[in-house]
């Protein structure tokens, strides 16, 4: 037993005013065992001493006191048996699952002699390896070694073998010159031994392959920025970024009192700016702790400026830029070019088709290039067809790699990116609303290509995953003076935004489309974009703004002598009159539009207008006519295969029945609408149907059931706009 260690541990702990319970939680041991170590009635292992030393910031002084007689007499009996592990990083946070896997490897529960920890620069591979090794150090009485393979060397494998054999006591004069003889000598010296070796920052599998042996008691942990695929039998442990809670805890622990007391949302914002990499979180926390006047809010504000983030995450001794530069040094010129081009994409993730278009290569070549970047942990695969790029890697590529590409090459890549996005968006939009009138687009002049989606569902899934990036591409097109691509992308996204009721991005893209049409002098696309901007405002209840946009588009269509556009504008204005409560003016406009659409054979627009007339008639208490027109509209939409419009017509009929007092028929329609809305992915129409059913139960005096249905509706969509929906008005009045 080591009484000096126990008493010194207790002195330092109490000096810091840390109770037994709290300290036992910090070092992950039982309160009872900690008490026995402090009183000298239980032994302390080196691992235990290292944890205490680190927690109390004793700078190795506690570790030096540990009496290792119980566990390390054999280690001290010979100069050959060396314990060379450096301490693992202070305030180690998270990684419980990774530590469990390392423990399984080191204890033999997982087969294999070598474990590869690979991850992007700054992900904490070395710290994780050291923490896992310290946890198991007592199981390797013949030595624990740590070697850095990242140092410059003409022959890394030879230098590693030389170092290890010298640590085992082999005189330099006895080291053979031939590499294979050197490896044979190494393996012969391992017989019967239990050794743990960490080889840090390995660049190539060839550097560590000669170290491998069949000795079951010897284990090697390798850390690398690459996957080292050539180590066929290695146990592989990918090291990802920290989860949010672990990153928060690390920042608070390293950042001092300010960080410990900071608001949760501010801390989370800081660690997110750092990409949740242990390296960058530590740098940011150290910057806070060493800056006497810097506040957490100020640090977060500085980090929020992406252009300066890499500079802030550099403290002179540690730098994410330097780490990423080392990773990029191992890339081919073609891989570096692709990584630079990926910085042009406005989102964190993209698919293989987009990457191929961006780089102007065929799909198989794009896949091979991405495999190389993934091996270096500079991109990550979400699936076989989709990759993500870490935010700090994107910023590094944008600031350090992209400037090396000619401006003309960058512009060509942006145009390919936009055209690819437009091609996919148009294909998905056509599946979403196949009967919609679409003006000719740029892609009509291109060679025919295979359809990218099999059906409506796959197109909708793609739009759900890509719409944010497509919105950003609209801005990219506008800023690159590629005006037509901007307004066409906005147009292609319009029906998706209508389905999902994402009015914010709908308006955002069409404002840019209007700006581009004005800049290019395209009156036709200006009229189209103004009209769609009006629909967005109308759909969310901004009727005054909607009417203004519709009037502007009407003037433009009249000047262009575009009868179809004129009637669309008249119809749109009629819908705003409906919601304003001007029923006679609304009916005049809708009847005019209906006649025109029927004369031209535009069945979709005619059915939409018929549904509008049904809503008008319901408001005017002409309920039998409203039901009949809603049913007629439904029949038209069913024939056209427009599932969303079918649901809207069923809900329209339900509202007409409710207005007529026929709650039994209204309930049947609302329940049918619920089923149909599920099939076409419309949360809005489902919420509308649930609200209508709640109104029926409320009218029957079943308040509890009504409130439950309304809660379900709110959970699906939020509060529905009473200006736009009669169901919402009835609920509000109740």
Regarding whether 269 and 224 lie in a shared domain, the answer is no
The whole-angstrom separation of Cα 60 and Cα 127 is: 17
Regarding whether 276 and 151 lie in a shared domain, the answer is no
Site of tokens 């059931």: 705
Range of the domain at 253: 244-321
Q: Which residue has the higher pLDDT, 660 or 153?
A: 660
pLDDT-derived band at 442 (thresholds 50, 70, 90) equals low
pLDDT at 120 over 60: yes
pLDDT at 76 over 60: no
Regarding whether 202 and 141 lie in a shared domain, the answer is yes
Compute the average pLDDT of residues 525-538.
96
The whole-angstrom separation of Cα 686 and Cα 397 is: 44
Q: Helices 483-500 and 456-479 sit at what angle, rounded to 10 degrees?
A: 140
pLDDT-derived band at 124 (thresholds 50, 70, 90) equals very high
- The string of pLDDT tens digits covering residues 444-474 is 555 566 778 889 999 999 999 999 999 999 9
Token pair for 142: 């013949």
Which H or E run includes 382?
Answer: strand 380-383
The whole-angstrom separation of Cα 378 and Cα 326 is: 11
What's the pLDDT at 91?
A: 85
Tally of domains in the chain: 5
By C-alpha distance, which of 381, 368, 384, 364 is closest to 335? 368
- The string of pLDDT tens digits covering residues 294-329 is 999 999 999 999 888 999 999 888 899 999 999 999
User: Residue 449 contacts by C-beta under 8 Å, 6 or more apart in sequence?
Assistant: 423
On whether residue 306 sits in a domain, the answer given is yes
The whole-angstrom separation of Cα 98 and Cα 105 is: 11
Regarding whether 188 and 145 lie in a shared domain, the answer is yes
By C-alpha distance, which of 439, 461, 398 is closest to 523? 439
Which SS3 state, helix, strand or coil, does residue 146 take? strand
Which SS3 state, helix, strand or coil, does residue 483 take? helix
Which CATH number belongs to the domain containing residue 51 in this structure? Answer: 1.10.260.40
Regarding whether 673 and 646 lie in a shared domain, the answer is yes
Dihedral of the alpha carbons of 145, 151, 153, 155, in degrees to the nearest 10: 40
What are the b/e assignments for 246-264, b being 16+ CB within 10 Å?
bbbbbbbbbbeebbeebee
Which SS3 state, helix, strand or coil, does residue 96 take? helix
The whole-angstrom separation of Cα 428 and Cα 461 is: 9
Compute the average pLDDT of residues 286-300.
90
Say what the pTM is. Answer: 0.78
On whether residue 11 sits in a domain, the answer given is yes
pLDDT at 588 over 60: yes
- The string of pLDDT tens digits covering residues 85-106 is 888 887 888 999 999 999 999 9
On whether residue 57 sits in a domain, the answer given is yes
User: Residue 232 contacts by C-beta under 8 Å, 6 or more apart in sequence?
Assistant: none
On whether residue 190 sits in a domain, the answer given is yes
Q: Which of 390, 405, 420 is the last residue of a domain?
A: 405
pLDDT at 217 over 80: yes
What's the pLDDT at 730?
A: 96
Beta strands in 323-363 (DSSP E): 349-351
Compute the average pLDDT of residues 198-205.
94
pLDDT-derived band at 16 (thresholds 50, 70, 90) equals confident
Lowest-pLDDT choice from 21-35, 163-177, 234-248, 376-390: 21-35
End-to-end CA distance of the chain: 77
- The string of pLDDT tens digits covering residues 350-379 is 999 999 999 999 999 999 999 999 999 999
pLDDT at 443 over 70: no
- The string of pLDDT tens digits covering residues 128-170 is 999 999 989 889 999 999 999 987 777 999 999 999 999 988 9
Regarding whether 16 and 108 lie in a shared domain, the answer is no
pLDDT-derived band at 691 (thresholds 50, 70, 90) equals very high
- The string of pLDDT tens digits covering residues 42-74 is 888 878 888 888 888 888 888 878 744 444 444
pLDDT-derived band at 1 (thresholds 50, 70, 90) equals low
- The string of pLDDT tens digits covering residues 228-257 is 999 999 999 999 999 999 999 999 999 998
DSSP of 569-626: HHHHHHHHHHHHT-HHHHHHHHHHHHHHHHHHT-HHHHHHHHHHHHHHHHHTT-HHHH
Measured CA distances, 90 to 128, 136, 250, 271, 633 (Å): 11, 18, 9, 18, 69
Compute the average pLDDT of residues 18-35.
84
pLDDT at 339 over 90: yes
Compute the average pLDDT of residues 523-547.
95
By C-alpha distance, which of 268, 594, 250, 644 is closest to 434? 644
Regarding whether 103 and 63 lie in a shared domain, the answer is no
pLDDT-derived band at 81 (thresholds 50, 70, 90) equals low
What's the pLDDT at 421?
A: 93
Compute the average pLDDT of residues 467-489.
95
What share of the chain in percent tops pLDDT 90?
72
Dihedral of the alpha carbons of 202, 206, 210, 212, in degrees to the nearest 10: 60
pLDDT at 715 over 80: yes
On whether residue 662 sits in a domain, the answer given is yes
What's the pLDDT at 83?
A: 82
Length of the chain: 734
Regarding whether 222 and 142 lie in a shared domain, the answer is yes
Regarding whether 299 and 342 lie in a shared domain, the answer is no
Which CATH number belongs to the domain containing residue 215 in this structure? Answer: 3.40.50.300
Can you give 494-532 as a three-state secondary structure string? Answer: HHHHHHHCCHHHHHHHHHHHHHHHHHHCCHHHHHHHHHH
Sheet of 114-118: strand order equals 144-148, 196-200, 219-224, 114-118, 235-238
Burial class (CB in 10 A: 0-12, 13-18, 19+), 216: exposed
Regarding whether 144 and 63 lie in a shared domain, the answer is no
On whether residue 175 sits in a domain, the answer given is yes
pLDDT at 79 over 60: no
- The string of pLDDT tens digits covering residues 613-637 is 999 999 999 999 999 999 999 999 9
Please answer whether residues 399 and 310 qualify as being in contact, where contact means their C-beta atoms are separated by less than 8 angstroms: yes
Count helices and strands in the chain by DSSP H and E runs: 37, 8
What mean pLDDT value characterizes the chain?
A: 91
On whether residue 498 sits in a domain, the answer given is no
The CA angle 732-733-734, to the nearest 5 degrees, is 90
The whole-angstrom separation of Cα 673 and Cα 687 is: 10
Which CATH number belongs to the domain containing residue 364 in this structure? Answer: 1.10.10.10
Site of tokens 């003309």: 408
On whether residue 254 sits in a domain, the answer given is yes
Q: Which of 238, 257, 282 is the last residue of a domain?
A: 238
Q: Helices 483-500 and 503-520 sit at what angle, rounded to 10 degrees?
A: 160
Regarding whether 216 and 159 lie in a shared domain, the answer is yes
Regarding whether 640 and 729 lie in a shared domain, the answer is yes
Q: Which of 358, 387, 405 is the last residue of a domain?
A: 405
């Amino acid at each position: 037993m080591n009484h000096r260690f126990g008493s010194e541990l207790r002195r330092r702990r109490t000096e810091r005013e840390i109770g037994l319970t709290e300290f036992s939680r910090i070092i992950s041991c039982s309160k009872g065992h900690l008490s026995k170590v402090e009183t000298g009635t239980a032994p302390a292992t080196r691992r235990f001493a290292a944890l205490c030393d680190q927690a109390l910031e004793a700078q190795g002084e506690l570790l030096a006191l540990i009496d290792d007689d119980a566990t390390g007499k054999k280690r001290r009996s010979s100069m050959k048996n060396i314990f060379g592990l450096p301490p693992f990083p202070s305030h180690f946070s998270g990684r419980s699952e990774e530590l469990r896997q390392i423990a399984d490897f080191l204890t033999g529960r997982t087969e294999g002699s070598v474990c590869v920890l690979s991850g992007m620069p700054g992900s904490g591979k070395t710290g994780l390896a050291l923490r896992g090794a310290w946890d198991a150090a007592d199981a390797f009485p013949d030595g624990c070694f740590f070697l850095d393979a990242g140092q410059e060397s003409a022959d890394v494998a030879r230098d590693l073998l030389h170092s290890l054999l010298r640590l085992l006591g082999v005189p330099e004069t006895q080291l053979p010159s031939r590499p294979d003889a050197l490896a044979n000598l190494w393996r012969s010296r391992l017989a019967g031994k239990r050794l743990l070796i960490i080889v840090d920052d390995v660049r190539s599998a060839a550097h560590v392959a000669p170290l491998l042996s069949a000795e079951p008691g010897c284990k090697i942990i390798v850390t690398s920025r690459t996957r080292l695929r050539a180590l066929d039998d290695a146990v592989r442990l990918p090291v990802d970024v920290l989860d949010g809670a672990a990153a928060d805890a690390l920042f608070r622990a390293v950042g001092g009192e300010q960080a410990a007391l900071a608001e949760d949302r501010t801390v989370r914002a800081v660690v997110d700016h750092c990409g949740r990499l242990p390296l960058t979180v530590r740098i940011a926390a150290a910057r806070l702790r060493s800056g006497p006047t810097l506040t957490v809010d100020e640090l977060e504000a500085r980090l929020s400026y992406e252009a300066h983030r890499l500079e802030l995450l550099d403290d002179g001794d540690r730098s994410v830029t330097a780490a990423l530069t080392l990773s990029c040094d191992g890339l081919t010129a073609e891989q570096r070019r692709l990584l630079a081009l990926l910085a042009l994409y406005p989102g964190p993730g993209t698919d293989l088709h987009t990457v191929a278009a961006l780089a102007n290569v065929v799909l198989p070549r794009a896949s091979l290039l991405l495999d190389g970047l993934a091996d270096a942990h500079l991109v990550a695969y979400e699936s076989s067809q989709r990759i993500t790029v870490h935010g700090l890697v994107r910023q590094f590529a944008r600031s350090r790699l992209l400037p090396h590409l000619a401006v003309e090459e960058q512009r060509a890549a942006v145009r390919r990116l936009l055209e690819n996005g437009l091609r996919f968006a148009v294909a998905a939009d056509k599946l979403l609303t196949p009967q919609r009138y679409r003006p000719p687009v740029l892609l009509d002049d291109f060679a025919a290509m295979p359809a990218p989606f099999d059906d409506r569902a796959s197109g909708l899934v793609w739009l759900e995953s890509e719409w944010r990036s497509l919105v950003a591409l609209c801005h990219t097109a506008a800023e690159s003076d590629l005006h037509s691509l901007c307004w066409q992308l906005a147009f292609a996204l319009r029906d998706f935004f209508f389905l999902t009721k994402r009015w914010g991005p709908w308006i955002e893209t069409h404002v840019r489309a209007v700006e581009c049409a004005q800049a290019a002098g395209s009156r036709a696309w200006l009229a189209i974009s103004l009209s769609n901007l009006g629909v967005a405002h109308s759909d969310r209840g901004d009727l005054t703004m909607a009417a203004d946009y519709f009037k502007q588009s009407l003037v433009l269509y009249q000047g262009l002598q575009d009868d179809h556009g004129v009637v669309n504008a008249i119809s749109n204005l009629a819908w705003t009159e409906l919601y304003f409560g001007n029923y006679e003016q609304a009916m005049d406009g809708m009847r005019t539009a209906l006649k025109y659409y029927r004369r031209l054979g535009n069945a979709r627009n005619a059915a939409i207008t018929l549904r509008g007339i049904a809503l008008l008639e319901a408001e005017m208490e002409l309920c039998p006519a409203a039901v009949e027109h809603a049913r007629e509209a439904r029949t038209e939409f069913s024939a056209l295969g427009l599932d969303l419009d079918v649901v809207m017509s069923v809900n329209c009929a339900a509202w007409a029945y409710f207005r007529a007092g026929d709650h039994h028929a209204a309930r049947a329609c609302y329940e049918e609408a619920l089923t149909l809305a599920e099939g076409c992915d419309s949360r809005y129409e489902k919420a509308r149907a649930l609200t209508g059913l709640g109104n029926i139960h409320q009218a029957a005096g079943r308040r509890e059931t009504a409130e439950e249905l309304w809660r379900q509706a709110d959970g699906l969509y939020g509060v529905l706009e009473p200006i736009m929906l009669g169901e919402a008005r009835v609920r509000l009045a109740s």
